[in-house]
C-alpha cells in the first residue's frame, strides 16, 4: 500500500517527545516548514481540474515542494486520467475516488483544489474547510446566497487559507491597472463596462458521448432533483440552469472581480438583469440564456454594465470611463489609457499610454506560497464572497424581472 508523507505526519514525528505534542492537529496544519511536502487533493478532474489546476501547481512542484496525491471525480475516465498524470509527474499514481467525501476524509491531504461543477462548489468548500484543510476553489463561488454564507462562515471559522479561482486579478497587467486607477488619472469614474461575445455559447464545446456505467450519477446530481442519466445533461452541464447560470457567473464573475480589485469597491447596492435565448434554439434545449445584460449600481458612485451576445462574436469591450479619459482593457495583455471622450481635460493623459505591468506571482504560486506563510491570498474568501453576491443579485433579477438590492449588514438580497 502506498504511503504519502505529508507535512502533518512530518510535524507530528519531528515534534514527538516535546511540548509540541500538546498542540492540536489543526495547530499543526498552520505551521509548515520549507522542507515539508504539501499533499494536494483534486476535486473535479475536468477542463479546469486536469487542464488548469493540476499543471498550474505542478509547474511549481519543485520550488514549493508539493505533490498531487489524491483525485476525485464522478466520471471514471476523468479521475483515471488525472491519477495517471500524477503518476507521470511524481512516479506514483494518485488515489482515486468518485466521491469528494472519501478524498476529504484523508488525513494526509493538506490542501484541496476544487474544480467541480458550479452547483457543487459551496458543498465541497464547506466540507474541505470543516476538515481543516486549505483550499483553492473555482469561481463562481456560489449560486445561492444561503450556501455562500455557510461556506464562507466555515472557512473563517476554520481559519484555513483559501484562494478563489478569479485568476485574472493576479495578472501583472491588471495589477498595473489597479495601481494606475488609484492615482485618479481618469478623473470621476461614472461607468465601467464589459461586452464579452461569442459566435455560440461555450457550453456546446463540452458536449460528449458519456457512458452511464462510467459515471456516479447521484454523486454528480448531489441535492438537485433526481432524473435519468443523460450524457448531454452531464457533459454539457454549463448550459443548464439545474447546474449553472450561464455567462453571468461564467464570464461576469471574472469581470466583477476585476471591478472590485481595480477600484476597491466591494458590493453593489442594486442590480437589474434581462436576457433570454434568442439565437441557439435546438435539440439540446439548453436553459442558460445566450444573450444577457446586467447593470449594477455601486455606492462609490458608478454604474457597472455587463453583456454577452452568444450569437455574434464581434463588439467585445472592457473599459473604465472617467471624465478625463478611458482605461481600455479589452486586450488583457496590453491595456492602455487615452484622453478619448474626456470633457474636462486637464492634460494629464496625452496620446495612447500603455499601462505599466506590476510583476507578481501567478495565481497558483500565490496560493502555494500562502499555504506556508499563512498570509491572505490575492483572491481571498472575502473577494469570492463579493463577486458571488453580485452574480447572485443579477440572476435573481433575471429570474424575477425585478431590481435586486443587497443589504451588507444583514447579508441579504431582496427585491426593491
* Domain range summary for the chain, segments of one domain joined by +: 7-160, 169-201+246-359+381-415
- pLDDT greater than 90 at residue 159: yes
Averaged over 224-251, what is the pLDDT? 97
Q: Which CATH superfamily is domain 7-160 in?
A: NAD(P)-binding Rossmann-like Domain (3.40.50.720)
| Packed helices 145-158 and 381-400: angle between N→C axes, nearest 10 degrees | 170
Mean of the per-residue pLDDT values of the chain: 92
pLDDT for 346 equals: 74
Averaged over 146-163, what is the pLDDT? 98
Q: How far is CA 210 from CA 50, 156, 322, in A?
A: 17, 38, 50
pLDDT band at 34 (very low <50, low <70, confident <90, very high): low
* C-alpha cell read off for 335: 491595456
* C-alpha cell read off for 86: 500524477
Residue 190 to residue 239: CA distance in whole angstroms: 33
pLDDT for 344 equals: 67
pLDDT digits (tens, 9 = 90+) for 37-87: 999 999 999 999 999 999 999 999 999 999 999 999 999 999 999 999 999
Domain 169-201+246-359+381-415, CATH number (from 3.30.360.10, 3.40.50.300, 1.10.10.10, 2.170.260.10): 3.30.360.10
pTM listed for this prediction: 0.91
Amino acid at each position: 500500500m502506498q504511503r504519502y508523507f505529508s507535512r502533518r505526519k512530518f510535524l507530528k514525528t519531528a515534534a514527538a517527545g516535546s511540548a509540541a505534542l500538546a498542540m492540536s492537529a489543526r495547530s499543526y496544519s498552520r505551521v509548515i516548514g520549507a522542507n515539508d511536502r504539501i499533499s494536494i487533493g483534486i476535486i473535479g478532474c475536468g477542463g479546469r481540474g486536469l487542464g488548469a489546476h493540476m499543471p498550474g501547481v505542478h509547474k511549481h512542484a519543485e520550488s514549493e515542494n508539493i505533490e498531487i496525491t489524491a483525485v476525485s471525480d464522478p466520471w471514471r475516465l476523468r479521475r483515471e486520467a488525472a491519477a495517471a498524470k500524477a503518476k507521470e509527474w511524481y512516479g506514483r499514481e494518485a488515489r482515486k475516488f468518485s466521491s469528494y467525501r472519501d478524498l476529504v476524509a484523508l488525513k494526509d491531504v493538506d490542501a484541496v483544489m476544487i474544480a467541480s461543477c458550479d452547483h457543487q462548489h459551496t458543498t465541497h468548500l464547506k466540507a474541505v474547510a470543516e476538515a481543516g484543510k486549505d483550499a483553492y476553489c473555482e469561481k463562481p463561488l456560489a449560486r445561492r446566497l444561503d450556501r455562500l454564507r455557510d461556506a464562507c462562515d466555515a472557512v473563517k471559522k476554520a481559519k484555513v487559507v483559501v484562494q478563489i479561482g478569479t485568476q485574472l486579478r493576479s495578472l501583472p497587467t491588471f495589477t498595473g491597472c489597479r495601481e494606475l486607477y488609484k492615482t485618479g488619472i481618469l478623473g470621476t469614474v461614472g461607468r465601467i463596462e464589459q461586452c464579452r461575445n461569442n459566435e455560440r455559447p461555450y457550453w456546446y464545446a463540452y458536449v460528449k458521448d458519456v457512458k452511464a456505467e462510467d459515471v456516479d450519477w447521484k454523486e454528480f446530481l448531489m441535492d438537485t432533483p433526481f432524473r435519468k442519466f443523460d450524457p448531454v445533461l452531464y457533459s454539457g452541464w454549463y448550459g443548464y440552469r439545474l447546474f449553472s447560470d450561464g455567462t453571468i457567473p461564467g464570464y461576469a464573475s471574472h469581470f466583477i472581480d476585476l471591478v472590485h480589485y481595480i477600484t476597491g469597491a466591494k458590493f453593489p447596492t442594486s442590480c437589474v438583469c434581462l436576457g433570454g435565448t434568442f439565437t441557439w434554439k435546438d435539440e439540446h434545449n439548453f436553459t442558460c440564456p445566450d444573450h444577457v445584460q446586467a447593470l449594477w449600481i455601486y455606492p462609490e458612485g458608478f454604474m457597472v454594465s455587463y453583456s454577452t451576445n452568444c450569437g455574434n462574436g464581434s463588439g467585445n469591450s472592457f473599459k473604465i470611463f472617467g471624465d478625463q479619459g478611458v482605461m481600455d482593457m479589452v486586450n488583457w495583455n496590453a491595456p492602455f489609457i487615452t484622453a478619448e471622450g474626456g470633457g474636462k481635460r486637464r492634460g494629464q493623459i496625452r496620446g495612447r499610454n500603455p499601462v505599466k505591468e506590476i510583476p507578481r506571482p501567478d495565481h497558483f504560486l500565490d496560493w502555494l506560497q500562502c499555504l506556508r506563510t499563512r498570509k491572505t491570498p490575492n483572491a481571498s474568501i472575502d473577494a469570492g464572497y463579493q463577486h458571488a453576491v453580485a452574480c447572485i443579485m443579477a440572476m435573481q433579477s433575471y429570474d424575477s424581472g425585478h431590481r435586486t438590492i443587497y443589504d451588507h449588514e444583514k447579508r441579504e438580497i431582496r427585491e426593491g
